[in-house]
Amino acid sequence: MNDLDHPARPLAAPFTEGLREGVLRYQRCTDCGHAQTLARYACQRCASESLQWQDACGLATVRAVTVVSRAPSDEFRALAPYTLVMAQLDEGPRLMAHAAAGMQIGQRVRAHCFEHGTRTLVRFEPQ
């Protein structure tokens, strides 16, 4: 069963529900095996609608790092300055998320969830 079978349920619900449970989830295409972190109705690689949500182990490698000094909204002002990374999960897809200060490209990290206001966000910490 895929998310198309539940039209009233938000597409990203398995991802956000997973974060509330402390689990990082991604979609995997059952036709070509491609893994993707953004919730989609079809595979980015082959356009198949045969997608399944899977739990990630939470381990990743940092591929890019930036420090945000000026928050994009009042909601994130209390966090500034904060570090964002693009991390490649061991399962293949990449995910942008918060990170501990001082992260380096190539560093091994583990995903954790944290509450900020009404949101549950991902933060990568050194492994």
- Model confidence over 102-116: pLDDT tens digits? 999 999 999 999 999
Domain ranges in the chain are 3-55, 59-126
Model confidence at 2, pLDDT cuts 50, 70, 90, reads: low
The pLDDT value recorded for residue 1 is: 47
Q: How far apart are CA 36 and CA 114, in angstroms?
A: 22
- Model confidence over 29-79: pLDDT tens digits? 999 999 999 999 999 999 999 999 999 999 999 999 999 999 999 999 999
The pLDDT value recorded for residue 9 is: 78
In contact, 98 and 123? CB cutoff 8 Å: yes
Coil, strand or helix at 72 = coil
In contact, 81 and 102? CB cutoff 8 Å: no
* CATH number of 59-126, picked from 1.10.20, 1.10.1740, 4.10.240, 2.40.50: 2.40.50
Closest to 61 (Cα-Cα) out of 30, 25, 86: 86
Q: Which residue has better confidence, 9 or 32?
A: 32
- pLDDT of 14 higher than 70: yes
